[in-house]
Amino acid sequence: MIRKHAVRRPRHRVIALAAAACIGAAAVARTQQYGQRSGVTADTSRVKAFVGARVYDGTDRPPIANAVILVRDGRVQTVGPLGRVTIPSDAARITLTGKTVIPGLVNAHGHVGGTVGLEGNHYSAANVARDLRLYADYGVTTVFSLGDDEAAGFAARDAQRTATLDRARLFVAGPVLSPASPEDARTLVARDQALKVDIVKIRVDDNLGTTPKMAPEIYQAVIDEAHTRGLRVAVHIFYLSDAKALLDAGADFIAHSIRDTDVDDSFVAMMKRRNVCYCPTLTREVSTFVYGSTPDFFSDPLFLEYADAATVTALKDPTRQAAMRNSRSAQRYEAGLEVASRNLKKLADAGVPIAMGTDSGAPSGRFQGYFELMELEMMAKAGLTPRQVLAAATRDAARCQKIDGEVGTLERRKWADFVALDADPLTDISNVRKIDSVWIAGNRAPR
Ligand SMILES: [Zn+2]
């Protein structure tokens, strides 16, 4: 970690977002659009050749040494060894010698746009833009938001299929549905479809026995209506029994770890039978108890470089820390993390598809971008190999959220979203922290 954190660049990129929304599809192909917004990639070439890196393309292919990634109009055209790829004479060359390239990280469960400091309900276009830039700062090039998305989030999603993009991509669930009856459920799902959500989101949880849980006939109505309308349903759960009941009801995505007890073989079989993905969000648990004292990562330069200073100060407040230390729910979630880690290992080894996710961006000190890198380390600590972790955070997260036609691997026609690292994460997953540069649609993300 060599970078200083003295200079904090302005993060208000509303204008850029609005500009992106105005760029029509036809204009995208015009060469002069490149690099216009960031001022970092000044070249005007439609074709870029990234040369010399060791490339892990996110598939089962072994890494390619001394590779060329050929990018045209923001998308991957070819990835192969230097000498086997023809580089067009008009291509802009970018040298990445000595770097290891991985696909941009995909967070399958985040939240965007609504949090300022430790408070929610601040949704705005400016916050959406700020958050998407913050994710990109840490190499998270796609975030799938699982709820509380408003118009500005939908607009950001709809503006991102452009070769000029240089912030993280966003997919949205819209409001978290909380229907009062089966009929209400059907109405809300219809509304979700009219909004063009990427997934439907519900919560089936009693928050450690403190709130009523959504009734089975209501979530059954949500799921049935969603499936009738061609939509998938992501479910927030805590208990194994709820997860099983939701799988029986047809749930499509398990958005958190099971934290009350160890998963059993029947759960594994249920997940595998329908190929349902499991999103561990281990760092969500961390955020529930770690601020009982000042966490070690508060002195990590990589954290401090982009973390909101006021939020960090607030989380150091001794009164707040004492309250968290003495909180029974914090203690229970901390215990839940141990269960969650064991369950992740068991499910991953059993072949259940794992989608990296964090629940970052919720107003609880879940620092976007940094928490994804921490999540990868925690997945490794739970017993997954670096290859398993990296697959979960790229290809599999994209597959699980049905966006693998666009992102998740560096294959022909997908967006050229990738991270150049100073060291190989397949040797040690912590090397994902050693970020040299982040590229989105082949554009260098300003950071
Ligand atoms: Zn969430």
CA of 28 to the centre of ligand 1 (A): 33
Give the pTM: 0.91
Cα–ligand 1 centroid distance for 5 (angstroms): 29
pLDDT of residue 394: 98
Dist. CA 57 → ligand 1 center (Å): 29
Q: What DSSP element (H or E) covers 47? A: strand 47-55
Q: What is the pLDDT of residue 25?
A: 35
Name the H helices within 36-181: 125-137, 151-158
CA distances from 164 to 42, 155, 336, 349 (A): 12, 16, 43, 39
CA distance 277 to 275: 6
Question: Residue 26 has what pLDDT?
Answer: 34
pLDDT at 44: 52
pLDDT for 13 equals 37
Residue ranges in the chain whose pLDDT is less than 70: 1-45
What is the distance in A from the centroid of ligand 1 to the CA of 333? 15
Q: What spacing in Å lies between the alpha carbon of 355 and ligand 1's midpoint?
A: 14
Name the 3-class secondary structure at 8. Answer: coil
Of the candidates 356, 391, 430, 420, the one whose C-alpha atom is nearest the C-alpha of residue 55 is: 420
Q: How many helices (H) and strands (E) does the chain have?
A: 16, 15
Ordered structural domains, the chain, with CATH: 35-102+410-444 (2.30.40.10), 105-400 (3.20.20.140)
Report residues near ion ligand 1: CB below 5 Å: 146, 359
